[in-house]
Amino acid sequence: MSDREFPLEIEQLAQSLSSIRKVLDFDAMEREIATLQEEAGDPNLWNDQENAARVTSKLARLQNEIERIEKLVSRVDDVRVLVELAEGENDAATLAEAVNELDLLKRAVAELEIRTLLNGEYDSRDALLTIRSEAGGVDAADWAQMLLRMYTRWAERHGHKFEILDLSHAEEAGIKSAIVRVSAPYAYGTLSVEQGTHRLVRISPFDSQARRHTSFAGVEVVPVVDQSDHIEIDEKDLRVDVFRSSGPGGQGVNTTDSAVRITHLPTNIVVSCQNERSQIQNRATAMAVLQSKLLDLRRVEERARIDALKGDTTGSWGNQMRTYVLQPYQLVKDLRTDFETGNTGAVLDGEIDGFIEAGVRWRRSNEG
């Protein structure tokens, strides 16, 4: 009925899942779940809301992870029975169903194998993504907005929460910068390989002579700060400015000075937030972003030998990580991994999993 060796494929999937269980250390995960369940059962847990949120969030993540793998193990057992049934009764329709399920399982297990490579100290955290327009004028601002949409669509495809914390519009078109929070298990570990300079080559829609332009946008990815990180910030080290929120083309979106810009004087890190209606809320959000950036700075200083993880994200030819060519031909190519595709439309619509997976494997091989 088919040239495929189904028993061998199914056995390989079963072995992969067994290896994943060992790498993730299921016994340790179950012990941690038991400890967290005990903490969650404490009637005084919610006296400290931040700690309670941390406990319940981590408990849910670990339980979901174990449930995800156990479901895959069960599905592998089911597809084994389905193949045997189809071959035993020479049933083409049942075999087609089994083949489809087997292919879906292969993809799911491959994604899980990538997860086992995300074992860095902060990999399991949510991620803060900063996108900035760099060299290229109005085209670069438009390119930054295209990247923002690409990551928004990627998050939507995976069902991840994607929250824009700050958005600075450019004068003519596009954006100067955006700060977004991606909330999902291992969001930081997954998206950290997207950090660097992204280069776009296309016929500029802003050029009346329809010439080809090259523009750059930088992407920075840092882990969201956790209660246990102990990032101390002295108020004397901060300069806080308030200003009026603005929309596209300088259009005011708020009639009060509710937007907040915070400069950390010792490091010259600047963060801003204008997404909330109240100055207090914007200040709290900006402080959280600042803490995450300081945490990442500390991580880079502590692990200088792999400072490429933070990298230099100024827009130049020397530190590009990916090129997107729309004219005269269509190609997206990662310059670190050589992973590429000619389907530029799909990539810009958020289909970047292939690039992310190749990036995670590349980073792991370089760390080794």
Question: Tell me, what's the pLDDT at 305?
Answer: 43
Q: Are residues 208 and 329 in the same domain?
A: yes
Q: Do 354 and 229 fall into the same domain?
A: yes
Question: Same structural domain for residues 47 and 132?
Answer: no
Contact between residue 331 and residue 316 where contact means Cβ atoms under 8 Å apart = no
d(CA 160, CA 139): 29
Spatial CA neighbour of 118 closest among 346, 280, 353, 361: 361
Q: Tell me whether residue 368 is in a domain.
A: yes
Q: Are 240 and 283 in contact (CB under 8 A)?
A: yes
Do residues 66 and 177 both lie within one domain? no
pLDDT at 206: 86
What CATH number is attached to the domain comprising 85?
1.20.58.410
Three-class DSSP category at 164: strand
φ/ψ of 315, rounded to 5, equals -70, 105
Which residues span the domain enclosing 109?
6-116
Verify that 216 and 365 share a domain, yes or no.
yes
- Pick the last residue of a domain from 54, 88, 116: 116
Q: Do the domain assignments include residue 16? A: yes
Beta bridge partners of 163: 181
How far is 334 from 337, CA to CA, in rounded Å? 6
Structure tokens at 36: 């967290």
How far is Cα 182 from Cα 125, in angstroms, rounded to an integer? 9
Same domain, 226 and 266: yes
Report the C-alpha gap between 136 and 164 in whole angstroms.
24
Q: What is the CATH number of the domain that holds 326?
A: 3.30.70.1660
Give the pLDDT confidence score for residue 316 in this predicted structure: 43
CA distance to 101, 170, 203, 263, 286, per residue, from 272 (Å): 47, 15, 33, 9, 6
Would 121 be classed as within a structural domain? Answer: no
CB 158 within 8 A of CB 186: no
Q: Are residues 19 and 85 in the same domain?
A: yes
Do residues 136 and 268 both lie within one domain?
yes
Helix (H) or strand (E) holding 218: strand 212-223
Q: Residue by residue, what is the 3-state secondary structure of 103-158?
A: HHHHHHHHHHHHHHCCCCCCCCCCEEEEEEECCCHHHHHHHHHHHHHHHHHHHHHH
Based on the structure, what is the number of domains in the chain? 2
SS (H, E, C) 37-97: HHHHCCCCHHHCHHHHHHHHHHHHHHHHHHHHHHHHHHHHHHHHHHHHHHHHHCCHHHHHH
Do 256 and 367 belong to one domain?
Answer: yes
Identify whether 268 is part of a domain: yes
59 belongs to a structural domain: yes
Domain boundary among 116, 137, 157: 116
149 falls within a domain: yes
Domain-located, residue 1 = no
242 and 358 both lie in a single domain: yes
Rg (alpha carbons) of the chain, rounded to whole number: 24
Domain assignment present for 157: yes
Is there a single domain that holds both residue 39 and residue 170?
no
Q: Of 81, 116, 151, which residue is a domain's last? A: 116
Structure tokens at 89: 């009764």
Mean pLDDT in consecutive groups of 10 residues from the start of the chain, 368 residues: 79 91 86 92 86 84 88 93 88 89 89 84 88 90 96 94 89 90 91 94 88 92 74 84 67 63 89 80 85 81 52 52 94 95 96 93 79
* 218 in the same domain as 99: no
